[in-house]
Amino acid sequence: MKLGIFKSKFATLIIAFTGFFLSAGCAQSQKQSLVDDSQYLRNFFTIYNYVQQFYVEEVDAKTLYEGALKGMMESLGDPYTVYLDVQDMRGLSDTTSGNFYGVGLSISKPNKNTAEKPAYVDVVSPIENSPGFKVGIQSGDKIIEINGEPTAPMSMEDVLSKLRGPRGEGVEVTILRGKTVTFKKVIIRDLIQVPTIEYCKIGNIGYMRLIQFTPDSAPGVEKAIKSFEEDGGYDGLIIDLRNNPGGLLDSAVKVADKFIDSGVIVSTKSRISTENKSFSATKKATIVKKGTPIVVLINRGSASASEILSGALKDYHVAYLVGERTYGKGSVQQVIPLIEKDGTKDGVKLTVARYYSPTDCNIDKIGIPPDREIKDGEYSDEETKAFIKMTEDRVIEKYVEAHPNMTEADISKYADELNAEYKINKRLLRRLIRVETRRTKSMLKYDLDYDIQLVEALKIVKAKDFKELVASTKSLEDLQAEAEKNETAENN
């Protein structure tokens, strides 16, 4: 009976996938390949039947079904191709809509796990003001344990199921920062409301921080531009994509269209003909005047849709990039739902294409380098250890509680005192104290005392020679050709 149920479900899955790939023009054309497929499926059902009849304990059909799909996805060696159980599918829907319970970390995980290179969980970026952000987890950190269990052998679904859960419950993570510093943090799960955009003016420069790409991003950018125009206009724009993990491709295209009036914004290429698409700018959608000085801020937490936007603006010489090399996620995923009998859904998320910039470059595992590199957040192991001790002892938190309404002069003086004891960068200390003083108030939209990348962006966007500066930048095509030339020279 169970075999029949499983066969029915698996057959439905095969039909769904077959229909998907046939409609995409990917039907197998060679007879030998079809014979092989048929034999593999017969072998699969034979082993399934054997397990059901002879395994030492009775096994639920769903367990074998989910295990088979997990194994199939993991065998592809792609960290973005995964099986999604019912809970994962619900969570994915919540993330896309912008609300879910969790720790607020955008993560990725290699599929291949070896003793030399464990498949730890990589933190792409924390969502601002989320539980993970508040306990100090940063882009580039690695989660090596969750509630005492090593993450290296876990699947991505296991990681997500352990990080997400009921609101108000804590989850303990062990963090590896750099090569040697490890520490534990307890993160209290909460409602994660993914914001889209924050904006304001810095003098006469419009500043927009895009936090994630959702359906609200393009309308948010339009609203920001209109606000700047109504507030006396603007002489330049800064688009802050730092720690933006991406989101919807369509949203990135619509945002780019606000700044680019013609030409391809991004294209996707696949062995599936229907996934070969090109997204172009339209003059009607463009709202920013051509020639407006624009600087884009990027860092290692800028990924996926962030790289689509920054890559397009770079290739067309519309904007100048400042900061650090981006994450390097240049692939496109499609979610394929599989409907259960009771109406609930599981599914798979499958990489179906790679995306390419206007100059036909893919940045997967490469990233986009800035036109001007300004590194930030690079601290020694000694500073990191001192920082961890200071935060664990709640030193700043206790001081601010005892000294409410601190002024900037008070903040600077206390930072000097902390530096004498902990030997941590004073700029960072002032930032930490400033954030703590505003914990019960609205957070600052920018911090020019701390944010050296933003300060540099302001200098560049105001520069008299900005037009010549941005025109002289290299496109992604130029950079990749240059890298290939250098690699060839080194090999010879």
pLDDT in tens, 391-419: 888 899 899 989 988 999 999 999 999 99
How is residue 145 written in tokens?
Answer: 């344990």
pTM for the model: 0.79
Whether 24 has a pLDDT exceeding 50, the answer reads no
E strand or H helix at 141: none
Phi, then psi, of 258 in degrees rounded to 5: -70, -20
Q: What is the DSSP string of 219-284?
A: HHHHHHHHHHHHTT--SEEEEE-TT---B-HHHHHHHHTTT--SSEEEEEE-SSGGG-EEEE--GG
**How far is 91 from 106, CA to CA, in rounded Å?**
13
Whether 22 has a pLDDT exceeding 70, the answer reads no
The closest alpha carbon to 320, from 476, 479, 469, belongs to: 469
Tell me the CB-side half-sphere exposure of residue 92, using CA atoms within 13 A. 20
**How far is 423 from 408, CA to CA, in rounded Å?**
20
Give the pLDDT of residue 379: 78
167 residue type, one letter:
R
* Dihedral, CA of residue 25, residue 31, residue 33 and residue 37, to nearest 10: 90
Among 302, 304, 357, 475, the one annotated catalytic: 304
For residue 1, give the DSSP letter: -
E strand or H helix at 146: strand 142-146
What pLDDT, in 10s, does the model give residues 138-182? 878 999 999 999 999 998 778 988 998 888 999 999 999 888 889
101 residue type, one letter:
Y
Among 329, 346, 371, 451, the one annotated catalytic: 329
What are the residues whose beta carbons fall under 8 Å from the beta carbon of 355, sequence distance 6 or more? 249, 266, 267, 268, 269, 308, 330, 331, 332, 362
**How far is 29 from 476, CA to CA, in rounded Å?**
37
Segments in 316-380 forming alpha helices (H): none
Residue 201: active-site member: no
- More reliable by pLDDT, 462 or 140: 462
Residue 304: active-site member: yes
What pLDDT, in 10s, does the model give residues 253-307? 999 999 999 999 999 999 988 889 999 999 999 999 999 999 999 999 899 999 9
The closest alpha carbon to 247, from 189, 188, 303, 318, belongs to: 303
End-to-end CA distance of the chain: 65
Where is average pLDDT lowest: 138-152, 194-208, 389-403, 435-449? 435-449
Q: Please tell me whether residue 387 adopts helix, strand or coil conformation.
A: helix
How is residue 465 written in tokens?
Answer: 């020679």
For residue 57, give the DSSP letter: S
- More reliable by pLDDT, 14 or 482: 482
Residue 141: active-site member: no
Give the pLDDT of residue 435: 84
How is residue 179 written in tokens?
Answer: 């090569």
Among 88, 141, 257, 315, the one annotated catalytic: 315
